[in-house]
Amino acid sequence: LVAKFFFDFIRFVLLRFFFFFQAEDGIRDAQESRGLGDVYKRQVSTQSTGVFSNPKMSARRTWSRRFNESLEHDDWGHVIEAEEGYDSLARTIWTAPRDDLELEEQGLIRKLVVGLKLRVASLRGKSGLVPGDMRSLTKVFDELQKDSVSQDCFILDLAEHADEVAAIETELDTVESTGMIKNMDLDGNCTTENHGSSKMLVDGTGIALHIDKIGIKDAESAGYMQPQIKVTLVDAEGNAIEEPQETPQGCGLCVKQHVLFDHKICLRTSLEKLKDMEGCAIFFEFNHYKPDKSMVSTKCYSFMEIDEFSQTRKEVALEICRCEKPTNFRRNAQPKRLSVKDHLNFHLDVLLTR
């Protein structure tokens, strides 16, 4: 009896599996077998029609993840990591396309970027936000992943840091790729001024410098922390003509012996005025942070004299000089090249605008 029951059970199981695989392979209805390739295509097709087909939302989920990582560093007191994370995220958000966004959404993004930059300023020892303030921005990142966006989720009072906010907004307005049709205030309202970020308002020909990359032999192995380019416009005696400007700290990526920046800086002095002042030059210093000495160090620099400017010259490759510490802005001594390799230069684009 036991043996009969055992054989009946085995036969039942085999029959069920036999008809199951027949149905899956399409044998019973005389259809061609789909195979794993078709199953994979079906899965990809299903996914492509879902949330993964929206690149904007995918990017914003990445923003949220990066913010949470920076916030965690901030909570643990990892100052350098938090600063780099917030600053890099602010730049990523601000340079993302925004042409098709409603004014409400553009205003919220602007507030978010200002909030991130305020915390960066605080981590650098200036007045700004504290970690508790940053936790409230989690709601902003959640709001940006919705179809309809409202600024009500932004609860920080930026009026407490009016001077710092003004400086940050000035920095944002110098970025060319804002994606905005007009300049906007913190409430998302269009203002009458239009700095346009494509150029700085100057009386004459404006000079926009797109900092591309700098070639350094140990760019990938040295582990340069918070790399940035400092741009200083000087006269023949080496005196600064206007306030120096810097690329965001930590924005540099290291690829194939080059540190990439992809950042635009607009000079505040017109080309005509500079040509009237003999011996003017623009210096580009490569700075990075040294944690063992708790200081920012200048490794090397390049410079370009105003006489070299022309209406046709756009892409420029400059020799890189070893820094004398301090940098010899007066140019009264022959500089030494950092490297003799021809492919290691400082690359930028010069755009003259009226």
For residues 167 and 126, what is the distance between their CA atoms, to the nearest angstrom? 12
What does the pLDDT look like over 279-307, one tens digit per residue?
999 999 999 888 887 788 899 999 999 88
The one-character DSSP state at 312 is: S
What does the pLDDT look like over 108-164, one tens digit per residue?
999 999 999 999 988 888 888 999 999 999 999 999 999 888 889 999 988 888 888
Stretch 17-28: mean pLDDT: 46
> Would the pTM of this model clear 0.85, i.e. be above it?
no
Q: What is the DSSP string of 193-233?
A: ----TTS---SS-EEEEEEEEEE-TTTTTS--EEEEEEEEE
For residues 83 and 121, what is the distance between their CA atoms, to the nearest angstrom? 9
Stretch 212-218: mean pLDDT: 90
Token pair, residue 229, equals 């380019």
For residues 335 and 69, what is the distance between their CA atoms, to the nearest angstrom? 43
For residues 202 and 81, what is the distance between their CA atoms, to the nearest angstrom? 38
Residue 33 pLDDT more than 70? no
Centre a 10 Å sphere on the Cβ of residue 60 and count the other Cβ atoms it contains: 20
Better-scored residue on pLDDT, 45 or 297: 297
For residues 131 and 124, what is the distance between their CA atoms, to the nearest angstrom? 14
Centre a 10 Å sphere on the Cβ of residue 237 and count the other Cβ atoms it contains: 10
Residue 198 pLDDT more than 50? no
Q: What is the pLDDT of residue 201?
A: 62
Q: What is the pLDDT of residue 142?
A: 94
Specify the range with the lowest mean pLDDT, choosing from 119-133, 177-191, 303-317.
Answer: 177-191
Contact 226, 80 (CB under 8 A): yes
Angle at 211 between CA 200 and CA 350, to 5 degrees: 60
Q: What is the pLDDT of residue 16?
A: 56
Q: What is the pLDDT of residue 69?
A: 92
What does the pLDDT look like over 217-245, one tens digit per residue?
888 888 888 888 999 999 999 999 988 88
Token pair, residue 36, equals 């794993």
Token pair, residue 334, equals 């022959």
Kindly list the distances between the CA atom of residue 19 and the CA atoms of 28, 147, 305, in Å, as whole numbers in the listed order. Answer: 9, 47, 83
Stretch 12-34: mean pLDDT: 48
Centre a 10 Å sphere on the Cβ of residue 151 and count the other Cβ atoms it contains: 19
Specify the range with the lowest mean pLDDT, choosing from 55-59, 118-122, 173-177.
Answer: 173-177
